[in-house]
A and B are shown apart, each in its own frame.
Chain A
Amino acid sequence: MTKSPVMIDRRALLCTTVLGWLMAGPARAASGDFVAAAGPLAPGATPSDTRAEALHLLNRLAYGPTADEFERVMRIGAERWVDEQLHPERVALPEPLGRQLATLAASDESQRTLPASLREAQAAARDGSESSKARLRELFQRVGYGAAGARLLRAVASPRQLEEVMVDFWFNHFNVFIGKGLCRVLVGSYEREAIRPHVLGHFRDLLGATAHHPAMLFYLDNWLSVAPGWQPPRGARAGAPSGLNENYARELMELHTLGVDGGYTQADVTALARMLTGWTIEPRRSRGDSVFWFDAGRHDDGDKRWLGHTVRGSGQAEGEWALDVLAAHPATARHLALQLAQYFVADRPPPALVARVAQRFLASGGDIRAVLATLFASPEFRAPGARGAKFKTPYQYVLSAVRAGGVPLGNVRPLLGTMAQLGMPLYGCLTPDGYKNTEQAWLNPDAITRRVNFATALAAGRLPLARPAYDDVPLAMPAQAMMASSAMRPAPEPGWFTPPLAADALLDTLGESISERTRAMVAESDPPLRAALVLGSPDFMRR
C-alpha cells in the first residue's frame, strides 16, 4: 500500500472551474399524490407498505429519495425501476447535468495526458519561480476539482443512481489515495477509465482495468517491482529498482479478490509478486490510451508455485492468467458476496444470503449485474426489517441530504469539506482497504454533532452551494486544512446561497422513513428549525 504519503498541499487543489446550477428548482407533487399512482408490490400491500418499499429501494440503490425520483418509483413500480437501475445505458442523463459535467476541466483527460502535464509542470517548477509553482498548483486544482465535482454532481443528480452507488462501491473496493504521487492527478482518470465502465459489468474486466491502470500500479508500487537481480539499463539513475515489491500482490489477494481468509500464504504472495514483475508504467513505449507497459526485461521468468499450481515462466501471460484464476475463485465469490451484502443489506448479512449471492457470482462468471439482481430480489433485502437497518456513511449522509432537499447544486466544496470533517474525505482514504460502511465505523458521539451541524446549515441555506467559481478555498482533504483556510475566506455574498428548505416538502419526500414520533416533534418545534430537525433526525441518519 502507500509509502509515506505526500501530504496534501492545501493550496494544491483549488478550483478555477465555473460550475453552473445543476438542478432545476424542486418541482414537487403535492403531498398524497404518490399514493394514488402507486402500483402495489405484493398482493395485499397497503399504500404505506408500497411507499416504504419504494423508499427502501431509493435508500439502497440510490443516494436516498428526491421528490421526483420517489414519485417515479411509485409511478412505474418497484420492479421496473430496479430493472432500469440495473441497465443505466437505457437511461439518458439529463441535459443540464451533461452541460455541467462538460464545464468541469480534465473530464476528458486521460492516464496518458495527465501524467505528461504533471511532469511538464513539475519540470517547469524546478526553476523555483512563483509563476511556474502557480501553474503546478493550478493543475492540481483543475484536475482534483474536476474529479470530485464530476463524482458529486452525478451522485446528486444522475437518474442512473445505482451506477453512481456502484462507482463509489468499486472505487472504494479498489481504493487509491489522492495524496500519493501520480495519484494526485490520476484519481479522476482511474475512476473514468478503470472503474466506471465496468461497475455493472464483469468482475474480471474491472479487476483487469484496475490492474493495468497507472494509478493502481503506482499506488501499490507494482510499477517498481522487478525480478531479483535485474540490472537497470546503463545510465539509469541511482535508486533504480532492484527487486520484488510485494505490496500489490498482497493486496490483490487480500482486498481485491480472495479476502484475507482466502487460503493463501506468504509464499503465495511472493510468487504472485514474481508473476507480476514487469507490469509497469511506460508512456514512451506504450501505445494508445493506456500507459501500461509489460517490460519483459524486468520480469522474473522462472517457474513459480502459486495457490497449488505450478506456473511456467510465460511473461505477461502469467499475470493475466493469475487475474483469471483470482476472478473465478470461490473465495473471491464469497469475499465479494459478503461485501456486497454488507453494503446493500445489513452490517452482518445473513450467511445464507451471502452463500446464494456467491453462488450466483460463480454461476454467472462474475457478472456483477446478475449478482446484484439476485441480491435485490432476495427476501432478505426486501424484508421490512431490512429498512433503515444501515447507518449512513458520511458520504451517503451528505448526498442524501442534498437530494432530499432538492438543493440546486453548483459548488460542491462545502460537501467535500463536510465529508472530510466527518472523517471520510473523498479520494482521501490513505489505505488500500477503503472506507468501511458499517455502523460501528461511523456512529460515534462527535459524528452526530457534526452531522447535525451540517443539517442545520443546509436547511437554513447557509452553505455556499451556489457560489460561482472561486479559488481561495482549497478542495480540502484533511479537516485541519479546512480550518486553517477559514481565516482567509472573503465575506459571503447573497447569491452564493441556496434557499432555506421547507420541512413539509422534506417530510413528503422522505415519507415513511421518518417516524411518527419524529414527525410529531418536528411539528411541535419552532418553524425555522423544522427542516434542520428532519435532516438532523436519527431517522435520517439511517438508510
Chain B
Amino acid sequence: MLDRRKLLKAVAATGAAGAGLLPVGRSAFAALSDASAVAPPRLVVVFMRGAVDGLSVVVPYAEDEYYRARSTIALGRPGQAGGVLDLDGHFGLHPALAPLVPLWQTGRLGFVHASGSPDTTRSHFDAQDYMESGTPGVKTTADGWLNRLLGALPAAGVAAAPTRAVSIGAVLPRIFAGHNAVANIASGAAAVKPTVLDRPRVGEAFARLYDGDDKLSRAYRESQLARREVMGALAGDDLEREMQAANNGAPLPGGFPADAARLARLMRRDARVQFAFMAVGGWDTHAAQGSAAGQLANRLAPLGQGLAQLASQLGPVLDDTAVVVMSEFGRTVRQNGNGGTDHGHGNVMWLLGGAIAGAKVHGRWPSLADSALYEGRDLAVTTDFRQVLAQLCERHLALPDARLDEVFPRWPGFGDGGLDLVRSRA
C-alpha cells in the first residue's frame, strides 16, 4: 500500500523540498530508509539477448514430440539423472535453474509459455528492437516502451529521483531510449568506486563546462546526481567479496549475480528506484548447446543464481516487485545438424516477484505437434509479449487504462487475453 502521508513526511524531514533541492546521497537514503513502508510498485526487466532456447528453460517433458525433435539435447524427465525439475506435471525447469525452485514453491515465480512477438522476423536485431520499442513491425519508433512508461506513469511523491529508472551497464539500451531521464550504472564494482569528479575542485570545473541545456550537459548532470544517490545507498558494500565469501571463496560465475545483488540492494535502500533494466547475452546456441550440462546450462546457471540473489537481496521489497525475463524469440523445435538450435519464434517469458500470480505456467500451450508448429519448425506464439507487459503495467504498476496506449501504441490491447498474471494487492 502506498502511504502518501508517510511519504510526504519523509520528504519534509529532509528539509530539502523547500530549498528546491532534491534530497541526494545519504540524506535521501536516511529519509527513505523506511522503504518497505512506502512500497511503490517496482518493475525489473531482464533481457536475454541472443534468443534463449525457451524449450530448454521450461521444458514440455510430458510430450513425446519434444524428445523426438531433440535426440541429443533434450533434457530428461523429472527424476532421471540430469532431468528437469518438475513444475506442474507437464513442464519442468532446467536443472541449472535450481536456485529458483524455492520461488516457484512459494508462488513467486511463474512463466508465460508460447509467448513472443507477433512480428515473425528471425533477425535478432530487429526482433530485439521491436520488443524494446514495444512496436513490433514498426522501425520508426524512436523511443523504448520502458521510457514511455516513465512518462505515462506519474512519479508518486518524491519518486522523481535521478535514479527512478536505472540501467546496469556502460550503454543505455533501446528499451530506455527517449526523453525521460534514465540513470545508467556501471557493471561490476566500478558502480560504487569514487571518480575524479568526486573531488570538489574537479567536479565544480566540469559542472561549469556542462551547465548548458544540450543533451551532453543534461547527461552529465543526470550522471552526477545518480552517482551521488547510488554511492549514498551502496557505499561500503563490497558485494564481490561478500558473495565470494558466501561461496566459500569460489570465483563468481560472471558478473550477473553481483550486478543483480547490487541492484536489489539499491532498490531496497532507496524506494525511489522504481524501474530497472539488465541485459544478459550469449544465448545464440547454434552449435553444441548441450542439455543438463554444456554451454546453455553454463549460461543459465549464473542467470538463475543472479535472479535468486535479486529476490533475496530485495527482501521485503520483493513483495512489491515484478521481474520479467524475456528474449527476442525462441529457437527451432528440432535441433540442427550441430547439436544446436536455429532461430525460431515462440519463447517463454519468466515472471518473478511477490506481485506475480506464480507457481503457474500461464498462456495457451499450442503443443509441439507438427501441425501446431509455426511454419512447421517453431513453437507458435499464442500470447503477445505486450499482453504480458500491459497487464504488469495496469495491474501491478497501476498505470491508468487511458495511458496504456502511450506505452504500447498501435496495439488494440484487447482485455486480459485470458491471463491472470498479477496477484491482487492486499
Contact = CB atoms under 8 A, between A and B. Distances in A.
Interface in A405-454: 421-424, 430-431, 433, 439-450, 452-453
Nearest to A6: B295
Given A518-B209, A533-B205, A538-B209, A260 B123 contact: yes
Given A480-B187, A480-B255, A221 B209 contact: no
Given A447-B170, A526-B201, A5 B337 contact: no
B98 interface: no
A449 B205 contact: no
B126 interface: yes
Nearest to A255: B125
Contacts of A448: 210, 216, 219-220, 223
Interface string A240-264: 0111111100100010000010000
Contact of A245 (B190, B255, B289, B338): B338
Contact of A452 (B126, B201, B206, B337): B206
Interface of A: 1-5, 7, 221, 224-226, 228, 239, 241-247, 250, 254, 260, 266, 269, 421-424, 430-431, 433, 439-450, 452-453, 456-457, 478-480, 483-484, 518, 521, 525-526, 529, 532-533, 536-538, 541
**Which of A244, A260, A441, A444: most chain B Cβ within 10 A?**
A444
Contact of A444 (B171, B208, B296, B336): B171
B399 interface: no
Contacts of B223: 445-446, 448-449
Contact of A225 (B72, B171, B337): B337
Interface stretch (B16-24, B280-288, B354-362, B412-420): B280-288
Given A4-B285, A226-B337, A453-B196, A529 B170 contact: no
Contact of A4 (B201, B216, B282, B336): B282
16 contacts: A1-B284, A224-B338, A241-B337, A242-B338, A250-B122, A260-B123, A431-B49, A439-B215, A442-B171, A445-B223, A447-B171, A448-B223, A456-B196, A479-B190, A538-B214, A538-B217
A441 B285 CA distance: 26
A480 B227 CA distance: 18
B150 interface: no
Contacts, number: 189
Contacts of B240: 484
Contacts of B339: 239
A221 B222 contact: no
B337 A244 contact: yes
Contacts of A457: 196
A167 B184 CA distance: 31
A300 to B, nearest CB: 11
Contacts of A453: 195-197
Contacts of A536: 206, 209
Contact of A447 (B195, B196, B209, B219): B219
B169 interface: yes
Given A221-B287, A536-B206, A538-B209, 19 more contacts: A1-B124, A2-B50, A4-B289, A221-B338, A224-B337, A225-B337, A241-B337, A244-B336, A246-B286, A250-B343, A260-B121, A422-B170, A442-B171, A443-B215, A445-B183, A449-B195, A479-B190, A529-B202, A538-B216
Interface string B256-298: 0000000000000000000000000111111111000001101
B306 interface: no
Nearest to A7: B254
A207 B170 CA distance: 32
B226 interface: yes
Interface string B154-195: 000000000000000111100001000011111111100101
Among A424, A448, A525, find the residue whose CB has the most chain B CB atoms closer than 10 A.
A448
B33 interface: no
B375 interface: yes
Contacts of B224: 449
A430 B254 CA distance: 15
B340 interface: yes
Contact of A478 (B72, B255, B298, B343): B255
Contacts of B210: 448, 538
Nearest to B258: A480
Interface centre among B169, B188, B196, by most A CB within 10 Å?
Answer: B196
A541 B254 CA distance: 31
Contact of A5 (B217, B282, B336): B282
A7 B289 CA distance: 15
A243 B71 CA distance: 13
Task: Name the 8 nearest CB pairs between A and B, nearest first.
Answer: A243-B337, A423-B170, A445-B223, A4-B295, A480-B188, A444-B172, A538-B216, A445-B222
Given A4-B283, A225-B337, A537 B171 contact: no
Interface in B282-321: 282-289, 295-296, 298-299
Contacts of A244: 336-337
Contact of B186 (A3, A7, A421): A421
Contacts of B254: 7
Contacts of A424: 170
Contacts of A525: 205, 208
A246 B121 CA distance: 14
A3 B219 contact: no
Contacts of A254: 123, 125
Contacts of B182: 444-445
B342 interface: yes
Most buried by A among B72, B185, B190, B201: B190
Nearest to A224: B338
Interface in B77-96: none
A456 B209 contact: no
Given A7-B254, A245-B340, A479 B188 contact: yes
Chain B CB within 10 A, most for which of A225, A431, A446, A452: A446
Contacts of A225: 337-338
A479 B187 contact: yes
A11 to B, nearest CB: 12
Contacts of A441: 171
A449 B197 contact: yes
B122 A266 contact: yes
B209 to A, nearest CB: 5
B281 A430 contact: yes
Contact of A479 (B50, B186, B222, B343): B186
Contacts of B195: 449-450, 453
A244 to B, nearest CB: 6
B186 to A, nearest CB: 6
Nearest to A440: B177
B66 to A, nearest CB: 18
A224 B289 CA distance: 14
Contacts of B184: 444-447
B281 A529 contact: no
A10 to B, nearest CB: 10
A1 B123 CA distance: 11
B186 A2 contact: no
A456 B202 contact: yes
A423 B172 CA distance: 10
A241 B240 CA distance: 40
Contacts of B282: 2, 4-5, 430
Contacts of B197: 449, 452-453
Nearest to B216: A538
Contacts of A260: 121, 123, 125-126
B287 A3 contact: yes
Contacts of A439: 215
B209 A449 contact: no
Interface string B208-246: 111010111101101110110000000000001000000
B220 A449 contact: yes
A433 B125 contact: yes
Contacts of A541: 216
B205 A529 contact: yes
A225 B217 CA distance: 50
Contacts of B201: 526, 529
